[in-house]
Amino acid sequence: MNPLIPADRVVVIGAGPAGLTAARELTKAGLRPLVVEKRASVGGLARTEVFKGFRFDMGGHRFFTKVEEVKKIWREVLGQDFLQRPRLSRIYYNRRFFYYPLRLLDTLLKLGPWLAATIVLSYLRWQVFPHPREDTFEQWVTNRFGRRLFRIFFKTYTEKVWGIPCSELRAEWAAQRIKDLSLKTALLNMLVRPRTTIRTLIEEFEYPRLGPGMMWQAVADEIQLDQGVLRLNSDVVSVRRTGCRIDGVVIRSDGQEELLEGSHFISSMPVTELVAKLSPPAPAEVRDAAAKLVYRDFLTVCLIVNTPHLFPDNWIYVHSPEVRVGRIQNFKNWSPDMVPDAGKTSLGLEYFCTENDSLWNMPDAELVELGKRELERIGLARAADVADGCVFRTDKAYPVYDAGYRECLDTVRVFVDGLENLQTIGRNGLHRYNNQDHAMLTGLLAVRNLLLGQQNDLWSINTDQDYHEQLSEEAEVAPEELARILEAGLTRIFVKLDRVALGLSVGAVGGLALFLATLFVVLGGGPLVRPALSLLGQYFPGYEVTASGTLVGLAYGFVAGFMGGWSFAFLRNTCLFLWMAALHRRANFQLLRRFLEFI
């Protein structure tokens, strides 16, 4: 692609993080992009709303990234207005608040030893006999945490967010959003300080002093200062095309329609709307596929409370099914400057819903009353202390990864990629649940595709590519390659046991068992058990059947269990490795090849 000349006009649809980042990059190259935005303010899903001087972040946006170019933009735009914030979040479940990331003693005390033991036993069961396929979110999480913990900490909240059963939500979402997190990593984070940061468990982040809207308003101002054009309250009603080329977009503003022509278009509007608004229409199969792509919406009930300090968390996940609220943000703990009155606290109660359902259509006054009741029921504040409230609705917030979305999206993608002067970017433009930083990255790379002729695949940003080796009927396969394929197949059948995870699990069970047995005898139960426990003192120096001995027994039980579990996993994996090595050596590769082709 030839570089653009300044006379060419680039139209950017959407003034969210992706669209504004693209427009900013275009102005840096000396161009004057035209940005159209349907809302009255910029920021898209990362906007900041204002009510009586109080600022409310629509979703709670942590500014954390490993993308250096994104960090550089944040620094250049806001500089000292970025605050370093400690993260504190908890999970509300069964009328208790659990720290997240989990803390060992806190979790054990609040779950109770019996429930904790069943969680570990469930984890062990699913480590030994996992789901052979991980097609759904339920299967993916169960294989890594066990079914018991899945039902406690994942099922209710996830189904609140998505509005569909976890058995219908695709595993791809879990692999993207909570990658690298498992019961093993959660336990390690409780016991030791990890050497690497798991993105789901980051302990601090940066945040604009006046919320994320401050960032995007500053970017919008910078674009206009560099002669770019920003049109707010301008909804795209039609996208005109001739064959595979976009000619212009028709916008409606103040009741009037206007055609905006351009040579190149970068769109962050929902790809479903893009397809639906094409003129002439896209082929029927493309329109049908786009219509089947689903979004989840949410609304924020914003409450102003006459209390200076309510709770220390940035946000709280509400997993209990007896209330409808899914997450509660405490904006004063994100940045004190979000709250103009130090004697008050502002909260954002997030309710996940679908546009035009009963919750979405509930009058604002009723939603405020619902928020007040649920806030009191959870125990965070009294309803009588709420001084005021309002409601903000956010449509198409979360692209849904349901059972048929991948096939539909592939159909839409093939068609959209065929439009030669259009690129789609951002969460909604790509129908992918990207974070803010990855949305920005799509905007950056789209401009490089346009100006530098690069061929960055925007659809693959923030995905984990799986490359599957295939055997060609005509190609010769080296014995080493066939051995590798055999090993991969056997490894899928005989899953490798994680030594540390199994050691931690068995150790937790062993420690709890000895702790409870000792406590039972100390409290006067089981006179026949006391002599047997007393014998353990010969093997565990310092252990006695006393009150203090319960903690010593807990420690010894954990250490002994860990060593036993670790050793068992080590020996089992070693035996499996030796067996496969022997099989490789004895195998007749030609016969094995025929067998593999047969099955």
The answer to whether the bond into 280 is cis (omega within 30° of 0) is yes
- Minimal CA–CA distance to 258: which of 279, 235, 229? 235
Backbone φ and ψ for 386, nearest 5 degrees, come out as: -80, 120
CA 471 from centroid of its chain's CA atoms:
35
Instruction: Please say if the pLDDT value at position 465 is more than 50.
Output: no
Percentages (nearest 5) of helix, strand, coil residues in the chain: 50, 20, 35
Runs of H (alpha helix) within 256-330: 271-276, 284-291
- Residue 5: band (very low, low, confident or very high) from pLDDT cuts 50, 70, 90: very low
Instruction: Please say if the pLDDT value at position 191 is more than 90.
Output: no
Return the pLDDT at 446: 97
Instruction: Please say if the pLDDT value at position 182 is more than 50.
Output: no
Q: pLDDT tens digits for 321-367?
A: 899 999 999 999 999 999 999 999 999 999 999 999 999 999 999 99
- Which amino acid, residue 531? P
Burial of 40 (0-12, 13-18, 19+ CB in 10 A): exposed
Report the mean per-residue pLDDT for the chain: 84
Query: Could you give the percent of the chain with pLDDT greater than 70?
Result: 82
- Residue 210: band (very low, low, confident or very high) from pLDDT cuts 50, 70, 90: very high
Q: How many CB atoms lie within 10 A of CB 137?
A: 29
Tell me the pairing of strands 34-36 and 229-231: parallel
Return the pLDDT at 488: 52
Which residue is associated with the tokens 């990890």? 194
Return the pLDDT at 355: 94
Which residue is associated with the tokens 């490795």? 577
pTM of the model: 0.74
Runs of H (alpha helix) within 48-90: 68-78
CB 368 within 8 A of CB 308: no
449: tokens are: 């595709």
What residue spans define the domains of the chain? 102-202
Distances (CA, A) of 413 to 6, 11, 282, 449, 547: 30, 20, 12, 17, 66
CA 319 from centroid of its chain's CA atoms:
16
- Residue 233: band (very low, low, confident or very high) from pLDDT cuts 50, 70, 90: very high
Counting Cα atoms < 13 Å in the Cβ hemisphere of 399 gives 28
**Selected residue with higher pLDDT from 125 and 34:** 34
The string of DSSP codes covering 230-272 is: EE-S-EEEEEEEETTEEEEEEEEETTEEEEEE-SEEEE-S-HH
- H/E segment holding residue 350: strand 345-353
> What angle do helix axes 405-417 and 284-291 make, rounded to 10 degrees?
130
Helix (H, G, I), strand (E, B) or coil at 417: helix
Q: pLDDT tens digits for 511-531?
A: 888 788 878 777 777 666 677
Which residue is associated with the tokens 């005021």? 388
Which residue is associated with the tokens 């735009």? 77
Q: State the Cα torsion 407-412-413-419 to the nearest 10°.
A: 160
Q: pLDDT tens digits for 438-447?
A: 999 999 999 9
Arithmetic mean of pLDDT, 62-67: 88
- Minimal CA–CA distance to 416: which of 457, 445, 447? 457
Instruction: Please say if the pLDDT value at position 586 is more than 80.
Output: no
Instruction: Please say if the pLDDT value at position 468 is more than 50.
Output: no
CA 117 from centroid of its chain's CA atoms:
28
Q: Which residues pair with 296 in a beta bridge?
A: 398
- H/E segment holding residue 51: strand 48-51
CB 15 within 8 A of CB 251: no
- Minimal CA–CA distance to 107: which of 513, 508, 556, 522? 508
Instruction: Please say if the pLDDT value at position 449 is more than 70.
Output: yes
CB 166 within 8 A of CB 153: no
Q: How many residues make up the chain in this entry?
A: 599
Backbone φ and ψ for 368, nearest 5 degrees, come out as: -60, -40
433: tokens are: 């649940």
Arithmetic mean of pLDDT, 492-499: 61
Query: Could you give the percent of the chain with pLDDT greater than 90?
Result: 52
CA 174 from centroid of its chain's CA atoms:
7
Q: pLDDT tens digits for 147-179?
A: 888 888 788 888 898 888 888 888 776 655 554
288: tokens are: 């049908």
Q: How many CB atoms lie within 10 A of CB 293?
A: 20
Burial of 152 (0-12, 13-18, 19+ CB in 10 A): buried
Return the pLDDT at 357: 94
90: tokens are: 């908890």
- Minimal CA–CA distance to 260: which of 18, 6, 12, 43? 12
Backbone φ and ψ for 210, nearest 5 degrees, come out as: -115, 25
Distance, CA of 159 to CA of 371 (rounded, Å): 20
CA 558 from centroid of its chain's CA atoms:
33
Q: pLDDT tens digits for 266-304?
A: 999 999 999 999 999 999 999 999 999 999 999 999 999
- H/E segment holding residue 121: helix 113-128
- Residue 199: band (very low, low, confident or very high) from pLDDT cuts 50, 70, 90: very low
Instruction: Please say if the pLDDT value at position 433 is more than 60.
Output: yes
Distance, CA of 596 to CA of 401 (rounded, Å): 33
CB 385 within 8 A of CB 228: no
Return the pLDDT at 466: 33
Distance, CA of 426 to CA of 14 (rounded, Å): 9
Distance, CA of 320 to CA of 465 (rounded, Å): 35
Q: pLDDT tens digits for 79-121?
A: 999 999 888 889 998 889 988 766 666 776 788 878 888 888 8
Counting Cα atoms < 13 Å in the Cβ hemisphere of 188 gives 18
First to last CA, the chain: 47
Counting Cα atoms < 13 Å in the Cβ hemisphere of 344 gives 21
Return the pLDDT at 105: 67
Backbone φ and ψ for 255, nearest 5 degrees, come out as: 80, 0
